[in-house]
Amino acid sequence: MATTISSPSSASPTANFANNAFANDGTNTNLFTTSSSDTTYSSFSSLSIPAGATINGIEVIIDATSNSSALETLVYNGTSWSSNKAVNSLPGKSFATIDPAWGSSSDLWGLSWNATTAAAIQLKFDWSTLTSGKRIGFDHIQIRVTFTAAASATVHSVNTVAEAN
């Protein structure tokens, strides 16, 4: 199996400086709380998945700080949003990388995927799932897709030798 990983380059809405989560550079988002509007990250343009590949799993990696133990997320395959996914783990009050925070190398989030839909994935954070007084801020968000490349056709050539009479 192979993997490909990418950071988003688009966030909607951009409240709380959501676009500061595009790079692991110490420029952080503001803290999101239960009163924040859900945030969707997209344009994970560095995902490189060959045509015909079988998607095995999708993971969300974060570099973040949080005083919460729960935050649910959803992913979009171009047709449907997944159900909310409970977090594997969140960081504490200091910034830390959680790899993966959601999903696994064999978790398809209950959706069907192909190379095209996986490369166009969207990620949504449902801030309403934070309990009162809890918050989270990001330095960096990434998506990792695990896939199996399609088998390539094997071509056999036969050399012939003409015999002289």
Whole-angstrom Cα distance, residue 119 to residue 111? 14
pLDDT at 75: 98
pLDDT at 130: 87
- Please answer whether residues 124 and 40 qualify as being in contact, where contact means their C-beta atoms are separated by less than 8 angstroms: yes
Please name which of 55, 72, 83 lies closest in space to residue 144, comparing C-alpha atoms: 55
Residue-wise pLDDT for 44-90, tens only, equals 999 999 999 999 999 999 999 999 878 889 999 999 999 999 889 88
Task: Using pLDDT thresholds of 50, 70 and 90, give the confidence band for residue 158.
Answer: low
pLDDT at 44: 97
pLDDT at 36: 92
Q: How far, rounded to the nearest angstrom, does the alpha carbon of residue 75 sit from its chain's CA centroid?
A: 8
For the residues 146-159, what does the mean pLDDT come to?
A: 75
pTM for the model: 0.89
Rounded to 5 degrees, φ, ψ at 23 are -140, 150
Whole-angstrom Cα distance, residue 120 to residue 108? 15
Give the residue ranges of DSSP H helices in 39-157.
Answer: 115-119
pLDDT greater than 80 at residue 126: yes
Whole-angstrom Cα distance, residue 40 to residue 126? 9
